Structures are given as C-alpha cells and as structure tokens.
C-alpha cells in the first residue's frame, strides 16, 4: 500500500509520487518572529517534523525547507511598542524560536531561510511580475499584485476577499488598490522603518507573501512536491503564493500537494499572539515534558481542530507513564534468568501501524495501535521468550522515535533501591505489615514499587 495524502487544493487524497533519486521537496511556512513561539506553532511544527521523519522512515530522501518571516508589518509594530529595532527584535525571536524547536526535538528541517537574506530573490520575483503585467504601483505606497489579472485566484481557498469581509486579514489596505483583495508585493520605504535599496522597485521592503515564494523558488525551482502550513494560512497567504509563483513562472501547478494542519485552540478560539490567549512553549515546558506535547499533538488528527486544555496535557503525561512502566517491565523480562518459550507475533501490530499512517497520516490510530500492543503484551509478558521481548522493545522504540518521543527509564536513587530491597526481603518472609510500611515510605519519597512474577519494578510516581 502506498502513502495517501489529502491535497487541500483538489480536495482529494493523492498518492505521493515516487521520486527515486531526488529528494521530496517539502516547504512549510515558518513563523513571523515578533514574540515567543506558542504551543499552537508547536502543533504545526511537531506534525510536519513527524511527517518528514515518517517519509525518511519509508526510505525517501527529504529536503524540508522552512522560511522565517523576519521582516513584516507585525514585527515593525511590535518593535515600535517596545521601543526597539525591528531587525534586532526579529533576530532575538528567531533565536528563541530555534531554541524551542531544539528543546522539542524538532530537528528534521534541512534549511531555515530568513527572508532578509533573500531580498535579491524577492526583488527579482517582483520585477518579473511587473514585467509580465501582474503588478502595479501605487505612488508613495508600493507594488501590488492585481488579482483580476490571474483568473485562477481563489482556486485553493475558494475565496478572493471580494465578497468576504472576514477574510481580509493580512491583505494590505490601500485606498487606491484596483481590487479589494490585491496584496502588496513590495512596500516603499517609510520613515524609521527598515528598507533595502532597489533602483527599479524603489527603496523598500518585501510584502509578506512574496518572501515565501522567492525562498521556495530559490531552493526548489518554480514547481515542487509539497507545501504545508497551518489552515489559517490558506487564505490569503497560500492563495497569494500560488498567484505569485504561477504568474511569475508561467508554470502550473506550483506544488503537487497542499497540506493544511488544523489549529490548536483554547476554549474554541485559535491560540494566537494577537488574541493574547497563548501559552508559550517555554511556559508549557515548565510544567510538562516535551514528550507529552508531542503525544498530545499527534493523538489528534492533523487536519482536525485540537482544543488544548491542561487536562489533555495531564492525560498525555499519564499515557507516557504507561509506556515507561511497560518498557521497565520489558527490561526486567529481558534480564530475567529464567528462560521462557512463548513467542509474540508483531505482524498484526506492524500492519495496523503502517496502514494507519499510509492512510493520510492517521497518527491517532497509529498511537492507539501502540497502546493496544502494550495491552496485549502485558497479558503475556512474563511468559515471552527473549527474542520476542527484544523485538517488542526495538519495535516500540522505533515507532516512538517516529513521533519524536524518547523514553528514558527512571534512574532510581540508592536510598530507594535499598528500601525496595528491604521491602522485598520482608515480603518474601511474609512480613506483610512491615513490607507495606516500607512501600508507603517509598511512595512518600515519590516512587512506587510493583511486584511482578520476575521481581519488583520501581518507578517514579
């Protein structure tokens, strides 16, 4: 069975076409760096990190490109509020964003490309659009894309802003625009704002949408495999990207597959910097693990809305404890001196796991297959032979790696180990009241002991 992915443009599932030697070219919209990244951003980037890792696990090569919007109206506005320089603010927030990605183990991006490093390419694309008659100038303002010059404008989102009052966010406002939905390609210099010299366009800075297409064209050419991003960017951002790229190159389609991941919401509202209802990645990590955020995110379908709550984070932590307990048991079984003979067939699990992911990356189903496996193995774990135990351990680790989840077994302090040994001796000599007292003492120190047919296991509570 081949990998099927839902393409938002055709509204159909598509098979990812084989590109045997070439890498799959994946572009995902990066952050606009004017504030700390929140767990909404993390949702999108955790998902696409998993996606890139999954493609690699299928033996495919991947070139994962992500832009960083480090010059934009939002950055300039925030810098003014903070009485700082927009370029410095963007640099700082880029640094924090990349730190957060590293902390979360998001490490599959091949190249992060900051817009300010690609001004020449941006200028070239705007000039091309002007030459071909797709752009016009508004004096003392900037160069605009004329959406009426591209009859296919709206083909991705079904919107053009002409009749949709709610959809004009981040479409630049200007009284002299030809059409309400026209967006700015190049903004002419304003006092106290960053600008780059340009003889043809006039000194100024790029509009938001053109940054992405200039960067993707620079690395991938005018046509490539997959473009991803959050659903909030479908209109106007991705619609504008198609218009710019297809008009500038004269080639269509710009990409084979458009992937849109759902929003992370709080009380039903999109988590966003502008609504000020956000939980930064750093704040999340003060109370929870990076593993729990990844499990929480991937336990919901990437195209669905994910309403975040503290309870969800706690549930994810509890599920991780189940996994850790299971791996601790496997470890004990592996090191047991008694030989067992029963074998365990992993094939039904492998098949279920693979088919779930091949079916438009159904991670919740794949994760639920992992927990079913744990359940099934738990029923017979103490009777399994060494090779089965080792296979289960390896397979599980492999699958969790794909989700960016790595489980480290608890390091048990010496005093706890000592108490646990004493408890076992008391229990073996049937001194249950005293052994129970020791169990309570261990619990008060934050650990729990569990008896199994192969000895006791100790876990952090």
**Per CB under 6 A, does 270 bind ligand AMP?**
yes
Question: What is the C-alpha separation between 176 and 167, in angstroms, rounded?
Answer: 19
CB nearer to ligand AMP: give 263 or 402: 263
**Per CB under 6 A, does 206 bind ligand AMP?**
no
**Per CB under 6 A, does 277 bind ligand AMP?**
no
**Per CB under 6 A, does 303 bind ligand AMP?**
no
Of 44, 47, 19, nearest in space to 360 by CA: 47
Question: What is the C-alpha separation between 429 and 451, in angstroms, rounded?
Answer: 15
The residue within the footprint of ligand AMP, chosen from 122, 263, 279, 295 (CB under 6 A), is 263
CA atoms within 13 A on the CB side of 14: 15
Question: What is the C-alpha separation between 50 and 357, in angstroms, rounded?
Answer: 11
Binding window for ligand AMP (CB under 6 A); candidates: 27-35, 122-130, 287-295, 440-448: 27-35
Residue number closest to ligand AMP, CB atom: 230
For the bound state, the minimum distance from the C-beta of residue 186 to ligand AMP, rounded and expressed in Å, comes to: 20
**Per CB under 6 A, does 384 bind ligand AMP?**
no
For the bound state, the minimum distance from the C-beta of residue 392 to ligand AMP, rounded and expressed in Å, comes to: 34
Question: What is the C-alpha separation between 80 and 74, in angstroms, rounded?
Answer: 10
For the bound state, the minimum distance from the C-beta of residue 216 to ligand AMP, rounded and expressed in Å, comes to: 14
Contact 382, 454 (CB under 8 A): yes
Of 383, 299, 302, 298, nearest in space to 336 by CA: 383
For the bound state, the minimum distance from the C-beta of residue 219 to ligand AMP, rounded and expressed in Å, comes to: 18
Contact 182, 144 (CB under 8 A): yes
- CA 162-164-169 angle, to 5 degrees, is 95
DSSP 161: S
**Per CB under 6 A, does 40 bind ligand AMP?**
yes
**Per CB under 6 A, does 31 bind ligand AMP?**
yes
CB nearer to ligand AMP: give 189 or 270: 270
For the bound state, the minimum distance from the C-beta of residue 113 to ligand AMP, rounded and expressed in Å, comes to: 14
Hunting for tokens 């438009």 — which residue is that? 360
Q: Coil, strand, or helix at residue 145?
A: strand
Contact 261, 229 (CB under 8 A): yes
CB nearer to ligand AMP: give 305 or 409: 305
Longest dimension (CA), the chain: 92
Of 176, 180, 196, nearest in space to 188 by CA: 196
C-beta atoms surrounding 282 within 10 Å: 14
For the bound state, the minimum distance from the C-beta of residue 306 to ligand AMP, rounded and expressed in Å, comes to: 8
Hunting for tokens 């809305």 — which residue is that? 305
CB nearer to ligand AMP: give 261 or 435: 261
Q: Count the site residues for ligand AMP by CB under 6 A.
A: 16
Of 227, 216, 231, 243, nearest in space to 160 by CA: 243
CB nearer to ligand AMP: give 42 or 458: 42
Binding window for ligand AMP (CB under 6 A); candidates: 7-15, 25-33, 282-290, 329-337: 25-33
**Per CB under 6 A, does 293 bind ligand AMP?**
no
Three-class HEC string of 217-237: HHHHCCCEEEEEEEHHHHHHH
Binding window for ligand AMP (CB under 6 A); candidates: 267-275, 339-347, 389-397, 402-410: 267-275
The residue within the footprint of ligand AMP, chosen from 8, 44, 167, 245 (CB under 6 A), is 44
**Per-residue contact flags (x/-) with ligand AMP for residues 141 to 170, judged by CB under 6 A:** ------------------------------
For the bound state, the minimum distance from the C-beta of residue 157 to ligand AMP, rounded and expressed in Å, comes to: 14
For the bound state, the minimum distance from the C-beta of residue 375 to ligand AMP, rounded and expressed in Å, comes to: 31
**Per-residue contact flags (x/-) with ligand AMP for residues 214 to 253, judged by CB under 6 A:** ---------------xx-xx--------------------
Question: What is the C-alpha separation between 125 and 326, in angstroms, rounded?
Answer: 55
**Per CB under 6 A, does 272 bind ligand AMP?**
yes
**Per CB under 6 A, does 43 bind ligand AMP?**
yes
In the beta sheet, which residues pair with residue 305? none
Question: What is the C-alpha separation between 173 and 184, in angstroms, rounded?
Answer: 9
For the bound state, the minimum distance from the C-beta of residue 251 to ligand AMP, rounded and expressed in Å, comes to: 25
Both structure tokens of 364: 């919740």
The residue within the footprint of ligand AMP, chosen from 5, 9, 29, 71 (CB under 6 A), is 29
Question: What is the C-alpha separation between 28 and 44, in angstroms, rounded?
Answer: 9
CA atoms within 13 A on the CB side of 273: 13
The residue within the footprint of ligand AMP, chosen from 9, 24, 32, 51 (CB under 6 A), is 32
Residues of this chain that interact with ligand AMP (CB under 6 A) are 29, 31-32, 40-41, 43-44, 229-230, 232-233, 263-264, 270-272
């Amino acid at each position: 069975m081949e990998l099927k992915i839902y393409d938002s443009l055709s509204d159909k599932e598509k098979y990812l076409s084989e590109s045997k030697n070439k890498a799959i070219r994946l572009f995902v919209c990066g952050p606009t760096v004017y504030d700390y990244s929140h767990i909404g951003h993390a949702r999108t980037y955790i998902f696409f990190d998993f996606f890139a890792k999954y493609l690699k696990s299928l033996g495919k090569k991947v070139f994962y490109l992500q832009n960083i919007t480090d010059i934009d109206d939002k950055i300039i506005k925030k810098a003014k509020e903070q009485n700082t320089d927009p370029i410095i603010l963007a640099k700082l927030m880029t640094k924090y964003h990349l730190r957060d990605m590293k902390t979360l183990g998001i490490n599959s991006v091949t190249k992060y490309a900051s817009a300010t490093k690609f001004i020449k390419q941006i200028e070239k694309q705007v000039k091309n659009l002007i030459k071909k008659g797709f752009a016009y100038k508004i004096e003392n303002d900037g160069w605009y894309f004329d959406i009426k010059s591209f009859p296919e404008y709206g083909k991705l989102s079904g919107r053009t802003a002409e009749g949709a009052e709610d959809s004009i966010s981040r479409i630049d406002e200007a009284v002299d625009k030809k059409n309400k939905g026209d967006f700015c390609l190049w903004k002419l210099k304003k006092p106290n704002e960053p600008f780059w010299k340009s003889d043809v366009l006039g000194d100024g800075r790029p509009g938001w949408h053109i940054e992405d297409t200039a960067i993707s064209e620079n690395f991938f050419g005018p046509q490539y495999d997959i473009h991803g991003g959050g659903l909030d960017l479908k209109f106007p951002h991705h619609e504008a990207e198609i218009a710019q790229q297809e008009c500038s190159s004269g080639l269509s389609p710009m990409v084979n597959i458009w992937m849109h991941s759902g929003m992370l919401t709080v009380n039903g509202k999109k988590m966003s910097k502008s609504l000020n209802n956000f939980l930064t990645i750093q704040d999340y990590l003060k109370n929870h693990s990076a593993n729990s955020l990844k499990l929480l995110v991937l336990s919901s379908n990437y195209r669905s809305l994910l309403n975040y709550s503290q309870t969800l984070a706690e549930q994810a932590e509890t599920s991780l404890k189940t996994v850790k307990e299971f791996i601790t048991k496997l470890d004990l079984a592996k090191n047991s001196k008694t030989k067992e003979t029963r074998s365990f067939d992993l094939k039904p699990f492998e098949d279920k796991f693979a088919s779930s992911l091949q079916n438009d990356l159904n991670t919740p189903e794949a994760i639920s297959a992992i927990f079913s496996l744990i359940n099934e193995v738990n029923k017979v774990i103490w009777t399994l032979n060494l090779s089965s135990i080792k296979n289960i351990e390896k397979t599980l680790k492999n699958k969790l790696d794909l989700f960016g989840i790595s489980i480290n077994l608890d390091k048990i302090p010496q005093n706890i180990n000592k108490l646990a040994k004493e408890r076992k001796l008391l229990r073996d000599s049937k001194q249950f009241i005293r052994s129970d007292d020791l169990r309570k003492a261990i619990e008060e120190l934050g650990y729990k002991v569990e008896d199994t047919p192969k000895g006791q296991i100790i876990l952090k509570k």
